[in-house]
Structure 1
């Protein structure tokens, strides 16, 4: 099985047709600002709403989850991250097995139903009086699994319907839906900080998560309609290969996927250094104060992400290319971390956290998803979750234990020394991002394309 999409031509590319179609050339202000073609608006808006609901559900949980580790030391944090990696890997392999047996249109909604039920099970355990300390750790681990799973499945579902050229224009807008949803969650936490207990957030999250199911149905019908219009005589395959291990095979045999996996690995390293630094500087505050501060941090971060995603990101992708988009933020973070090491005061730490996360969400994340428009469904639905979840959480485990080793576990590094180490990791992240971006741009030049809706599925 090959990673690139099937044989392609640019004869019917909507990016070219828009210049010849009077209806498409008559764009409104919104289309000009976002660079989304009128014919792409329905799919983009539905996808925006879909990821909005998914991220809202998660962000209600996140400030509560992130308030817990400040009570733990480096070794205790590392232990919880290890459990997260173990359960995330198990969940990915269960998902891959199901992907081999269930049609894609049933697989995607089933994932979100399963997570909603799991949160209600944890809620029931709280009500039955199970040990609160134990359930807090269960809550932390399972929420961390969910934090990657729902977005990975979303992008697997959406990216199959967009070409490389379309993705550079549309994905940054769709991704702002995640940031809009990420604002709603923290706002509710800020407003209800005193009453938003773990039990309550589990119920609210489950309800919001289930609201995404009608959106999935509508999106399936919409993309089916586009496919039937462009290729009425070609059926779209909804079934992946029966072998549940093809995702692993794809990952270890293709340089592109290995490069993306390495990029994720270094991304988790930078995140781990920021996460522990943030926890260290918040240790002197109460849990309620931490939740309020972290909720405010999410609000500022995601507001900035929306502005960048709407007006900046897609123009960066098209003007400077994917290689620059994947490497600029890591290199900027590396330089800022070196400056931060001279004075790791809480204000400076939180400001840099906002800069790193906004840049990652608005620029790096959608650029990373553009890379997956050049792979087939087998890699998109089976290899991608391994990279996004198992590799990500495996990287978490590696880096958190490394930080524990160089911190209070053995070497006794100070906060500034750990920040300097994180700057080096950020530089490696940027170098690899530049490399895989260049490879993607080279493949674009070698293979003109049509949209996924216009090309037959190759088994």
Structure 2
């Protein structure tokens, strides 16, 4: 008769053998990795289920399109208050209680918005701001938790597989919302999103309960029940040169990406106008042309991003190391905007932006999460949410300022904006090289290529 331990271990070994098709998963690691992937799958699915509600509520009111453009600035201002509040909670709570309290707050909000909107109270702006902060804070908190669970060596092997849960959750959430909105309407999607997020919290508590029994022991397991330090989150970032470098890297990355989306949008609009001028498109069908382009574009970007996440990212990180992998996207982006300078036509820019964005959603996101692996628990739980919320929004603001200056003061064309992005990509690459070298120093050399 097979001993109980052997019988219990056999399915686990089968699971790990299956997961090794995608990354280097070792015996005993499979169940926790899959649960974490499912956890972030649910978080992203909840966000994308509620995202159409955000657009419907804010665009339905007068001046909605203009309000959207100002919302990023409002969110950045709000985060100046929210980030220190989050730091105050972190000082008083252990990691499980902190994540439960923060997530429960976000779970409780959608039913409130649902009731208020049902009574005719305008919640479009408030819901827009709330969802934007949710998408930054909760996801950053999840990845801070993953950084706390794994050593740098294990994180570099396993984060690509966990991040696939995020990629597929985004696609699934968008698919579900697209179908449900025609069945239940707009407002009930708030409740669906809240339910999905609540399920993710139940799963988190299950994962955290069993985290101490995994093969890969959390590097700070003995501190999991303690508070997360007394420093203000902004001080945590500003007092650590490595964290400040990551913050500047994320800021410039977002600045480039947001400006790149403007370039693509402008080329699409000009392409539609050219079709109308040539008599190939009726003017009242311009919206259909633009919407059809973006539907096809996002579908290809998301599909390619998922495939890269599943089959390429972990192998690339293992082969090149984090310090080199973090430089891949800025090099690709440099090529993309160089092409946009020389050939600013839709047929070309579409595919170079597809390559850039699919790498951003897969390799760059995963490597960015890995950068926090060698840091302390306080730096993970305070630094990452601060950088992934406040500094991301500052990058959006810089992009908006660039677009305003380029259109109002300098009347730049597509090539002019692409040339400006080339300069920014040079700064981005320099920051990536510096951060990559710092990471390499923080992580012992034998762990860089396991």
Specify the alignment match of 1:5 in structure 2.
Answer: none
Q: Deviations over 1:117-142 (max 9, x none)?
A: 222322223212134xxx43333332
Native 8 Å contact 2:302 2:358 kept in 1: yes
Q: Deviations over 1:8-31 (max 9, x none)?
A: xxxxxxxxxxxxxxx979962432
Specify the alignment match of 1:129 in structure 2.
Answer: 120
1:294 Cα offset (Å)? 4.8
Q: Which residues in structure 2 correspond to 1:205-244 (within 5 Å)?
A: 205-226=193-214, 235-241=222-228, 243-244=230-231
1:171 counterpart (159, 163, 170): 159
Specify the alignment match of 2:5 in structure 1.
Answer: none
Q: Does 1:94 align with 2:85?
A: yes
1:277 counterpart (263, 267, 270): 263
Q: Which residues in structure 2 correspond to 1:68-79 (within 5 Å)?
A: 78-79=69-70
Label 1:178 to 1:401 Cα distance change in 2 as closer, same or farther (>3 A): same
Q: Deviations over 1:383-427 (max 9, x none)?
A: 2211111111122212212221222x4322223322322232223
1:256 Cα offset (Å)? 0.7
Q: Give the Cα separation in 2 of the matches to 1:254 and 1:138.
A: 34
Q: Does 1:140 align with 2:96?
A: no
Q: What TM-score do you get using the length of structure 2 for normalisation?
A: 0.83
Label 1:281 to 1:207 Cα distance change in 2 as closer, same or farther (>3 A): farther
Q: Give the Cα separation in 1 of the matches to 2:329 and 2:437.
A: 16
Specify the alignment match of 1:303 in structure 2.
Answer: 303
Q: Give the Cα separation in 2 of the matches to 1:405 and 1:195.
A: 44
Native 8 Å contact 1:406 1:413 kept in 2: yes
Q: Give the Cα separation in 1 of the matches to 2:16 and 2:200.
A: 29
2:176 counterpart (188, 201, 209): 188
Specify the alignment match of 1:401 in structure 2.
Answer: 401
Q: What TM-score do you get using the length of structure 1 for normalisation?
A: 0.81
Label 1:330 to 1:35 Cα distance change in 2 as closer, same or farther (>3 A): same
- Structure 1: unaligned runs, 5 residues or longer: 1-22, 450-459
Secondary structure class of the residue paired with 2:372:
helix
Q: Which residues in structure 2 correspond to 1:24-423 (within 5 Å)?
A: 28-62=17-51, 65=54, 78-131=69-122, 135-191=123-179, 198-226=186-214, 235-241=222-228, 243-245=230-232, 247-280=233-266, 294=294, 296-346=296-346, 348-407=348-407, 409-423=408-422
Native 8 Å contact 1:340 1:349 kept in 2: yes
Q: Give the Cα separation in 2 of the matches to 1:26 and 1:139.
A: 41
Q: Give the Cα separation in 2 of the matches to 1:65 and 1:418.
A: 29
Q: Give the Cα separation in 1 of the matches to 2:91 and 2:366.
A: 27
Label 1:221 to 1:241 Cα distance change in 2 as closer, same or farther (>3 A): closer
CA-atom RMSD in angstroms: 3.3
Secondary structure class of the residue paired with 2:327:
helix
1:171 Cα offset (Å)? 0.4
Q: Give the Cα separation in 2 of the matches to 1:121 and 1:73.
A: 22
Secondary structure class of the residue paired with 2:378:
helix
Q: Give the Cα separation in 1 of the matches to 2:210 and 2:307.
A: 28
Q: Give the Cα separation in 2 of the matches to 1:103 and 1:139.
A: 29
Label 1:44 to 1:291 Cα distance change in 2 as closer, same or farther (>3 A): farther
- Structure 2: unaligned runs, 5 residues or longer: 1-11, 273-284
Q: Does 1:437 align with 2:436?
A: yes
Specify the alignment match of 1:453 in structure 2.
Answer: none
Q: Which moved more, 1:257-266 or 1:25-34?
A: 25-34
Q: Deviations over 1:7-61 (max 9, x none)?
A: xxxxxxxxxxxxxxxx979962432432111211111101100000011111223
Label 1:384 to 1:344 Cα distance change in 2 as closer, same or farther (>3 A): same
Q: Give the Cα separation in 2 of the matches to 1:230 and 1:442.
A: 23
1:374 Cα offset (Å)? 0.5
Q: Give the Cα separation in 1 of the matches to 2:37 and 2:213.
A: 19
Secondary structure class of the residue paired with 1:33:
coil
Specify the alignment match of 1:16 in structure 2.
Answer: none
Label 1:447 to 1:311 Cα distance change in 2 as closer, same or farther (>3 A): closer
Flag the structure with more relative contact order, 1 or 2, with Cα contacts below 8 A and sequence separation at least 6: 1
Q: Give the Cα separation in 1 of the matches to 2:196 and 2:49.
A: 10
Native 8 Å contact 1:152 1:388 kept in 2: yes
Q: Give the Cα separation in 2 of the matches to 1:350 and 1:221.
A: 46
Label 1:72 to 1:165 Cα distance change in 2 as closer, same or farther (>3 A): farther
